[in-house]
Homo-oligomer: A and B are copies of this chain.
Amino acid sequence: MLWGGRFDKKLDKKAMSFSSSLNFDKILIFEDIEGSIAHAEMLRSVGLISQEETDKITEGLSRIKDEFKGGSWNPSEEEFEDIHSAVEYRLKELTGETAGKLHTGRSRNDQVATDMRLWIKKAATGLKGKNRELQKRLVETASENVNTLMPGYTHLQRAQPISFAFHLLAYVEMLERDVNRLDFVYYESDLLPLGSGALAGSTLPLARELIVSKLGFSGITANALDAISDRDFLLDFLNAVNLGMMHLSRLAEEIVLWSSAEWKFVLLSDEYTTGSSLMPQKKNPDMAELIRGKVGRVYGNYTTLATTLKALPLSYNRDLQEDKEPVFDSFNTYYTSIGIMESMIATMKINKDRFVEELKHDFILATDLADWLVLKGVPFRESHSIVGKVVSYCEKANKYFIDLSIDELKKIDERFDETALECFDINTSLERKKTFGSPNPEMVKEQIAGWKSKLF
């Protein structure tokens, strides 16, 4: 134990196990050693330890890293309360009393805060990379489906024709915001808390600014009390994961729908589906369902940390130890889910002709007809109402738009002329779109080109 000089009794065994964080903070060992080496070098710079001591410490720490990687040293929960004390204990075994100098001017409070910031910066960078991979995949699939017609839905009702490419690009936009959010988390984590001590800095002449560049931070925290009790960057990280997974859950929901017998739009690869232990004919979109289900888990992690932080008086309270598991779990869930989603999309087949015939026998081009009237000078509200009558007429006559003659149209409103019938051509419907951000194939191609030059 790093403390205890004054205690008569040892920590109860159950309490030790209850309070130990080793099982989950072990993941921080690399950041911990990185931070300790930088700290040791700073201590040497300001003369608090000698060059020789520094060398012993940094060599010892490097060796511990290797031992851990190689598996020859693996601390256990029964012995240590956290990875920080485990590393220091091992360092003492390797270097003797010198190890006792490493913690000079440092507290576990600023040490842990530093480790977590280093870790989050790596995590945000890693997740950004995964999002970029998924964006690439979506853009790739989009570029093969610029003319794949499908109904665009609102209220899960067919609304207007779009292309599958256009649909996928909506997700590329979402992922771009997810990347921006991760950038914000990175920026927020990019200040060094080391040198804040337990809560109030130190009477030792520590040169905090020397550590900043060693560890790749962009600056230094300004108030020790805040620095060691701040977990904003973690809650913002969990929020970023929430939104990212929420986006994936929407895509996953759509993949489940598209794979159904009712939609038959997408065929998932065997590699990303499972069968049933009872029903031999089943081919289940389990991966999509799991991604959708796991949004619950990351939401839960956010709730966990937000609840824990509520109304905590300054500065460090042991409650804050509960910050780690939700963060690590949300990272793992999100990181893996992006990868699975990417592979699932890469291997799925699109039933490109699925909707072509069916959309002809639909009223999905009603808006186009209303716009036609608008261009003839009919106020939109009136044209909306006229088209409503056309739909009603068709329903009663058991017809679809393409079955209508110009005479039938004229009977409803005499302002209709032959060119109105062009609105009923599903094949040219996308080309007729005029606005930036629409599924017009030319615009979609341009956007794909833009994304490709940005991402590839």
Contact = CB atoms under 8 A, between A and B. Distances in A.
Say what secondary structure dominates the interface of chain A.
helix
A254 to B, nearest CB: 5
Contact of A435 (B201, B293, B372, B380): B201
* Of listed A156, A220, A304, residue having the most chain B CB within 10 A: A156
A52 interface: no
A86 interface: no
Interface in A272-305: 272-287, 289-290, 292-297, 299-305
Contacts of A434: 201-206
Contact of A313 (B3, B6, B81, B250): B250
B304 A296 contact: yes
A208 B434 CA distance: 11
A124 interface: no
Interface string A148-184: 0001111111111110001101111110010011001
A249 B311 contact: yes
Contacts of A438: 197, 200-202, 224
B225 A167 contact: yes
A89 to B, nearest CB: 11
B364 A281 contact: yes
Given A224-B438, A307-B307, A384-B5, A343 B293 contact: no
Interface stretch (A7-15, A30-38, A65-73, A125-133): A7-15
* Of listed A260, A318, A439, A440, residue having the most chain B CB within 10 A: A318
Interface in A183-223: 184, 188, 195-206, 208-209, 220-223
A259 to B, nearest CB: 7
A271 B11 contact: yes
Interface residues of A, number: 193
Contacts of A294: 322
Nearest to A440: B201
Q: How many copies does the complex hold?
A: 4
A269 B223 contact: no
Given A235-B243, A309-B246, A223 B188 contact: no
B315 A152 contact: yes
A439 B200 contact: yes
B243 A286 contact: no
A340 B296 contact: no
Contacts of A340: 14-15, 18
A226 B170 contact: yes
A308 interface: yes
A104 B374 contact: yes
A43 B92 CA distance: 63
A363 interface: yes
A334 to B, nearest CB: 12
A156 B263 CA distance: 11
Nearest to A367: B279
A249 B312 CA distance: 8
A48 B374 contact: yes
B278 A292 contact: no
Given A5-B392, A300-B326, A166 B262 contact: no
Contacts of A282: 3, 154-155, 157, 159
Contact of A8 (B177, B180, B270, B310): B270
Given A18-B340, A205-B434, A290-B318, 8 more contacts: A3-B275, A5-B389, A156-B259, A169-B225, A169-B226, A172-B223, A224-B435, A293-B321
A147 B405 CA distance: 42
Nearest to A298: B304
A178 to B, nearest CB: 8
Nearest to A245: B310
Given A159-B282, A261-B362, A306-B242, A437 B252 contact: no
A19 interface: yes
A83 interface: no
B250 A311 contact: yes
Contacts of A77: none
A188 to B, nearest CB: 7
